[in-house]
Structure 1
Amino acid sequence: MARSEQELNSKNAAAVTMLKRAVELELESQYQPALVCYQEGIDLLIQVLKGIKDDTKKRNLKKNISDYLNRAENIKKYLDQVKEDGKHHKQIKIEENATGFSYESLFQEYLNETVTEVWIEDAYIRQTHQLYNFLRFCELIIKRSCNIKTIHLLTSLDNGNVKIEQINALEQIKGSLRNHGVLLELEYSSSIHDREIRLNNGWIIKIGRGLDYFKHPKGKFSLGYCDFDLRPCHETTVDIFHTNHTKKI
């Protein structure tokens, strides 16, 4: 058997295996992995098609490819509709001491030109490092959401001198945001307990530890002090989902 024919047979066998798995996953309602398997299997069949000379075989294979393309397209439409209907849910589990989870890495895909208003509910925007966390998140919003107009923060007040420093720091952030044409609305509550971020484009981000999931750096000149993708994290869970009816905090 010629080498080219062997390669075609090998690719065809791989395609059959991949597409069989795609059908099984689809029947199990595992649509996202099924779509991936369909796409890979179809790609293999297209490669096989290019090497076939017999017209009848070509015609039959084209029909098979067309059928699988239709199934893949139907799954894609379904997944897009699920996302549009607000049923999308993504969970990210951050392990203890894990790195690579800066605000930008986690949230930049949800912060785009459609975002004009953001609500942040986090009881612990009080200590200096927590205030810097909030400032970093505001910087990300400014960079990614070119049409942002208002940021709402609901947090709790600290006690004593720390309370004064907290208020002063938040007022400085408010003034800095104003220079970028963004209004920061501050609200304080002694009974706040939820930690979440809501975007007016429908995305909701819930973080078990709020914005304060980074560990303290070992020193001012250690990796991760400036780049939070290199900063070790505390263990926490991030849930990101979409709703067509975002409620204000």
Structure 2
Amino acid sequence: MNIDSAAVSILKRGVELDTNKRYTEALVCYQEGIQILVNKMKGECNDTTKSYLRKKVEEYMNRAEAIKKLVLKQKEAGQFHEQVHIENNSTGHSYKTLFGRFLDEEIQYVSVEDPYIRSFHQIQNFLRLCELLARSCSNLRHIELITTKDGKSEGDQREWLLNLKNDLIKYNIKLIVKYSDTLHDRQITLSSGWIIKIGRGLDFFKAPENKFCLGVFDLDLRPCHETTVDIVHSKNVKQSYG
């Protein structure tokens, strides 16, 4: 039976993620794959093929609905935990790929705790995150950054973050920067309750080999250092920031 190869690839990936209990990622794959099958079904003339496609769509839709219910149940019980292990030199781990599925119009406030938003490339990483947040979260009004001061170039650090702060105002987003001498945690907290804990913080990308290689701008093409990403959900976050 001829099924669109793109749909097969995406749905196969969805099943793999589903098996590994990476449910929210699996859900994205299932939804994309289902849409491709639905589009193919609309243009299909052969009744046998059409019937087969309909059966597959129903099968994956049922699984997608089951995942939604499972995730909701785990969130309500405070038991949701999804883990992504980023291997050394692996690619395909931009901020959007890692946690873009949690960024939506529900989010009004984002807190970023990372002791290493200090040097030029680290603040650029934070800028990339802010770009993603501004594009994805239409109701975002506050971003809070908690980091440590850079003893060597504190002036530059403050200037770069001030430039970013002034630019975010154009998007009606207020950047609040706080400094801590004892900060060790590295996590991104969304007002919707999702918490993304990245072992190495935002700075897990390797430096590009030169200024004209793939991955300089597209972080999905940039090799990474090994790290672990833990995604959890807390109902208390809404109360704290609400």
Q: Pick one of 154, 171, 195 that aligns with 2:162.
A: 171
Q: Equivalent residue for 2:102?
A: 110
Structure 1: state its 5+ residue gaps.
1-29, 33-46, 51-69
Q: Identity of paired residues, percent? A: 48
Matched, 1:195 2:186: yes
Aligned to 2:14: none
Residue by residue, what CA displacement relative to the aligned partner does 1:112-155 show, whole Å, maximum 9, x if unpaired? 00000000000000010000000000000001001000000000
Structure 1 position 77, deviation (Å): 4.1
Report the TM-score when normalising by structure 2. Answer: 0.70
Kept after mapping to 2: 8 A contact 1:126/1:157 = yes
User: Aligned runs of 1:49-60 on 2, under 5 Å?
Assistant: none
3-state SS in 2 of match to 1:86: coil
Task: Tell whether 2:228 aligns with 1:244.
Answer: no
Aligned pair in 2 of structure 1 residues 244, 231: CA closer, same or farther (>3 Å)? same
The match for 2:131 is 139
The alpha-carbon distance between structure 1 residues 127 and 80, as it changes in their structure 2 partners (threshold 3 A), is same
Give the Cα separation in 1 of the matches to 2:97 and 2:69: 27
Of 149, 153, 170, 1:157 maps to: 149
Whether 2:91 is the aligned partner of 1:99: answer: yes
Q: Which residue of 1 aligns with 2:212?
A: 221
Distance verdict in 2 for CA 1:191–1:224, change over 3 Å? same
Equivalent pair of 1:85/1:244 in contact (CA under 8 Å): no
Residues 183-204 of structure 1: per-residue CA shift (max 9 Å, x gap) = 0001001111111110000000
Segments of 5+ residues of structure 2 without an aligned counterpart are 1-20, 24-47, 52-61
Aligned residues: 183
C-alpha change, 1:73 and 1:118, in structure 2 (3 Å) is closer
Shift of 1:79: 4.7
- Asked whether the 8 Å contact 1:123–1:192 carries over to 2, the reply is yes
Structure with max Cα Rg? 1
Compute the displacement of 1:85 (Å): 3.1
- Does the 8 Å contact 1:157/1:188 carry over to 2? yes
What secondary structure sits across from 1:179 in the alignment? helix
Partner of 2:117: 125
Deviations 1:85-109 (A, max 9, x none): 3321100000000000000111111
